Structure 1
Amino acid sequence: MRLFHAPGSPYARIARMAVIELGLQDRVAVEEATLRDPFSILLPFNPVGRVPALVLDDGTTITETTPVLTMLDSLVEPERRLLPAPDRPRALAAYGRVLGAMDGIAVWNRELRRPPHERSPGVISLEALRAVRVADALERDVASGAFAAKDAAFLALVSLCGYCEQRHTAFAWRQGRPALSELFDAAQARPSVAQTVPPAGMGGAAPPMR
């Protein structure tokens, strides 16, 4: 199998970390692809042109983070799987909350990549407020013991914070959030995290996320 990714994509980083956490490095080849590129090696497999994209041995291509994780989970024993099961609704809710925050930050970041005269102050303001609101909720969640399991929700949260730390520095996510900062800092020692750190961005915006 082949997993296409872009180094700066927090969505693809979740899948890359999952490959390592599940011990699938010998079964899944991780390959870098360019985004928004008409000559990208990704396009013959995924015409949408987004990552992560998991190409199965029969040529079937699975796209988007959660379906990719579902397939990766299917390759290991049930007790090792990363996606929260329906009997863990709080963990499932935590996973969804982080993905929602990631989507909002993607919109914010996209606006910052536009020339100044094309940016929408209203969209930037809305997404900045959303990011603060969700980060405050995540701070409370972490402080109350959420995200302790090293599951998909944990990987998504680390990926989100890592993206803001390295690529979307317009958002001071650490400010006033000691529990979230502590969780993120402690996670850096995990091989799956250390081996997938995104390259640093420049200024407040970065290249495409997916």
Structure 2
Amino acid sequence: MRLFHAPGSPYARITRMAVIELGLEDRVAVEEATLRDPASVLLPFNPVGRVPSLVLDDGSTITETTPVLMVLDSLVAPERRLLPGPDAPRALAAYGRVLGMLDGIAVWNRELRRPVHERSPGVIALEAVRAARVADALDAEVAAGGFATMDAALLALISALGYCARRHTAFDWREGRPALAALFDAAQARPSVARTVPPAGMGGTAPPVR
């Protein structure tokens, strides 16, 4: 199998970390692809042109983070799987909250990349408030013992915070959120995290490629 990614994509980073955490590096070749490029190596496999894209041995291409994680999970024993199921509603809810925060940050960042006269102050304000509100809730959850298990929710959280730390510095998620900061800092020693650190964004922001 082949997993296409872009180094700056927080969505693809979740799946790249999953490959490492699940011990699938000998079964899944991780390959970089250019995006928004008519000559991209990705397009023959996925005309949508987004990452992550997982090309299966039969030629099928799975795209978007959660479906890719579903396939990766299917390759390991049930007790090692990362995606929480309906029997773990709190973990499933946490995963959804983090993805929701990341989607909002992506919209916020995209607005900041526009020329000043084309930006929507209303959209920027909405997404800034949303991101802060979700981050506050996540900090409280971490302080209460949440995100203590290596699963998809934790990988998504580390990826989202790492994206903000290096490519969307307009959001100072550390301010007033000590539990979230401590969790993020402790995770940096994990091989899956250390080996997938995104490049820094020029000027403090970079588009959240998918």
In the superposition, the TM-score normalised over structure 2's length comes to: 0.99
Specify the code of the residue in structure 2 equivalent to 1:144.
Answer: A
Q: 1:169-191 CA distances to partner (integer Å, 9 max, x unpaired)?
A: 00000000000000000000100
Q: 1:202 Cα deviation (Å)?
A: 1.9
Is the CA contact (8 Å cut-off) linking 1:112 and 1:204 kept in structure 2? Answer: no
Structure 1: where are the runs of 5+ without partners?
A: none
CA contact (8 A) 1:170 1:203 kept: no
Q: Secondary structure at the match of 2:204?
A: coil
Judged with a 3 Å threshold, the aligned counterparts in structure 2 of structure 1 residues 25 and 32 are, in CA distance, closer, same or farther, namely same
Deviation (angstroms), 1:105: 0.3
- Correspondences of 1:17-36 after superposition (within 5 Å): 17-36=17-36
1:72 aligns with 2:62: no
Q: Deviation of residue 209 (structure 1)?
A: 2.2
Distance 1:57 1:44, change over 3 A: same
Q: Mean alpha-carbon deviation: is it higher for 30-39 or for 1-10?
A: 30-39
**1:127 maps to what in 2?**
127
Corresponding residue of 2:159: 159
Match of 2:145 in 1: 145
How many residues align structurally?
210
TM-score, length-normalised on structure 1? 0.99
* Structure 2 Cα separation of the partners of residues 209 and 146 of structure 1: 28
CA contact (8 A) 1:35 1:208 kept: no
- Identical aligned residues as a percent: 82
Q: State the distance in 2 between where 1:115 and 1:23 align.
A: 43
Residue pair 1:52, 1:68 contacting (<8 A) in 2 also: yes
RMSD: 0.7
SS in 1 for 2:202: coil
The structure 1 segments of at least 4 consecutive aligned residues displaced by more than 6 Å after TM superposition are: none
Instruction: State the alpha-carbon separation in 2 of the partners of residues 209 and 157 from structure 1.
Output: 17
Q: Within 1, Cα distance between the matches of 2:204 and 2:194? A: 23
1:174 maps onto 2:177 in alignment: no
Q: Give how far 1:97 is off.
A: 0.3
- Counterpart amino acid of residue 106 in structure 2: A
C-alpha separation between the residues in 2 aligned to 1:176 and 1:42?
A: 41
Are positions 1:185 and 2:188 aligned together?
A: no
Show the counterpart of 2:92.
Answer: 92
Question: Structure 1 CA distance, aligned partners of 2:38 and 2:118?
Answer: 24
**Deviation of the 1:204 alpha carbon:** 3.5
1:147-202 Cα offsets, whole Å, 9 max, x none, are 00000000000000000001100000000000000000000010000000000112
